[in-house]
Amino acid sequence: MSENARERLGTVVTLMSGFPAPWCVAGGWAIDLFLGRMTRAHDDVDVAVFREDQRAIHDCWPHWSKQKVVAGTFQDWPADEWLSLPIHEIHIQSPDEPPRVVEFLLNERDGERWIFRRNPAVTLPIGELIRTGAGGVPILAPAVVLLYKAKNPRPKDEEDFQVTVPHMAAGDREWLARALELVHPAHAWLAKL
């Protein structure tokens, strides 16, 4: 892992250490923390939190700027605004130089079950959603990371799939296959699971 990459990840993990609700690293970093090694460069660090805990973002970083992503555009996110679907992405930036940036991804849940926002028929017990990665960092289950990446896989998503699947438990591969059959029934990854 390069020093810059390690520093970026470490900064986010340190910032999140005081967050008063469940959280985990998502995206490509979750894959690398699952594998215990850096497999490729990363543009940012994504953090998954539950939608119901979004107010804690304002509470924990009151002086940071906050933006929501609406239909691909960044818009200011005031503290008194509750974000509902389809909005699920938030970016916050510190006032210092150079600024620290964290990208949050809001996840849905119903009690003790995570619900896939793109198809509510796809669920997973919360206890299986958040795993422990390298260094004790909480990570999003690799099968869930790959399910998000399956929508329009870019070359880096294909790479993440190739390096991850051989290391996934059989039950996780089966869950991903069932989820893909529901969400993307003709997906090329199904033949490899």
- Is position 65 within any domain? yes
Q: What is the average per-residue pLDDT within 22-41? A: 95
Residue 1: pLDDT band by 50, 70, 90 thresholds?
A: very low
Q: What is the pLDDT of residue 3?
A: 52
Q: What share of the chain in percent tops pLDDT 90? A: 92
Two tokens, residue 100: 């620290």
Q: Does residue 176 sit within a domain?
A: no
- Domain contains 80: yes
Q: In a 3-state reduction of DSSP, which class is residue 127?
A: helix
| 11 lies in some domain | yes
2 pLDDT more than 60: no
For residue 108, list its beta bridge partners.
115
Please give the pLDDT value at position 165: 97
Number of domains composing the chain: 1
For 151, phi and psi rounded to 5 degrees?
Answer: -60, -55
Domain membership of residue 162 (yes or no) is no
Domain hosting residue 77, numbered range: 3-141
Crossing angle of the two packed helices 170-183 and 142-149, in degrees rounded to 10:
30
CATH number, position 93: 3.30.460.40
Q: Is residue 98 in a domain?
A: yes
Q: Which residues contact 88 (CB under 8 A, 6 or more apart)?
A: 51, 105, 106, 107, 117
AA letter at 7: E
In a domain, 93, yes or no: yes
Digit-coded pLDDT (tens) for 119-134: 999 999 999 999 999 9
Taking only the tens place, the pLDDT of each residue in 45-99 is: 999 999 999 999 999 999 999 999 999 999 999 999 999 999 999 999 999 988 8
Is residue 4 over pLDDT 90? no
Letter string b/e over residues 126-146, b meaning 16 or more CB atoms within 10 A of that residue's CB:
beebbbebeeebbbbbbbbbb
Q: What is the pLDDT of residue 105?
A: 98
| Residue 183 counted as domain residue | no
